[in-house]
Amino acid sequence: MSLRFHLKPEAVTWLGSAFDEKSIISPLYSVQAPGFAEQDKQGLMDQGIIDTAGALTPTAYEFFNGLAGAQSFAGFRVAGPFGKIDKVAYFNGDRVYWVDNAGETLIVSDIKDTETILTILNEITGISHLVNASLDIELDPAAAQVFTALTDLTRQAALVACAGKGMIPEGFSLDEILSALNYEETRWFGSYLRRLRPDGVSVNPEIAAIALQALIDAGYISKNETGYSLVREAYAMAVNMLIIENVFHLRIGKVDNNEIQSGEALFLQAGLHDALMIDSDGKKIGFTSVSTNAMIEYLISMMTTPPKI
């Protein structure tokens, strides 16, 4: 029998107190929202979670005991013009628990509602097998920062050109690239890269020059008398991803020796045929053009299969 419960954060905290042993990734451990009152028990009784004596029913105990012992998780948050969606799958053995953060309520279930997820994602992203660029590169953190700075300069110039106010320069100077490293608004790729960049990595003029030469040697950018510019698939990606519509933040993790091992990635979408995955293994940062069909398939697989880290 599949179950679905609507719970206030305070109720999740109260339910967690019923279990002495809880995984550090379980929401029954991590959600700390005091304030559950005696009158709040009625809502739990109405859902068959507790009986009239205030004790967990056998069905609810079995359900929440499994969630308390979750050993891995995978989740995504997506923000766009439609609002926000925040969904996490917790894995314990062959059982999957879905938790949707609906603001003031957490919807907890073991219903494998992949069709619902697919429908929602299709409405958000659209679905196509086509891409306007075929970028697939992996860079060290310094080169990744320089690459995104040059990408943001190109995107900025392309937007101005679209407004009929100029042309994309043939090249950007080192000083312009260093300045673009500090772009902070969420319209810039650099702001998203900072979420994945390993700590302690900073770029000065000397490091930037070395990174630029490495990018030239790898064939991702070129240099002329006016400065540096993106080439081929990197350029195609930049001039097509002008305005970010949707941002997917992905996170996976598992418990190992009572510590959490986790990984993160981002999907940035600027149109039906323009999506970019940015991911990091802690040492390298990848930039991969993906179709919306591949993006949706990845998310569905991630939410139904325990992660391998």
Element (H, E) at 83: strand 83-92
Note the pTM of the prediction, 2 decimals.
Answer: 0.90
Q: Which of 298, 139, 266, 282 has the alpha carbon at shortest distance from 193?
A: 266
Measured in degrees and rounded to the nearest 5, phi and psi for residue 225 equal: -65, -20
The reported pLDDT for the residue numbered 80 is: 74
Helix, strand, or coil (residue 221): strand
Integer angstrom CA distances of residue 177 from 127, 174, 207, 234:
35, 5, 12, 16
The reported pLDDT for the residue numbered 117 is: 86
The answer to whether 13 touches 33, Cβ cutoff 8 Å, is yes
The reported pLDDT for the residue numbered 12 is: 96
The reported pLDDT for the residue numbered 198 is: 60
| Domains of the chain, residue spans | 4-125, 131-290
Reduce the secondary structure of 107-170 to three states and give it as a string. EEECCCCHHHHHHHHHHHHCCCCCCCCCCEEEECHHHHHHHHHHHHHHHHHHHHHHCCCCCCCC
Tens-digit pLDDT profile for residues 198-252: 655 788 999 999 999 999 999 999 999 999 999 999 999 999 999 999 999 999 9
* Weakly modelled stretches of the chain, pLDDT under 70: 197-200
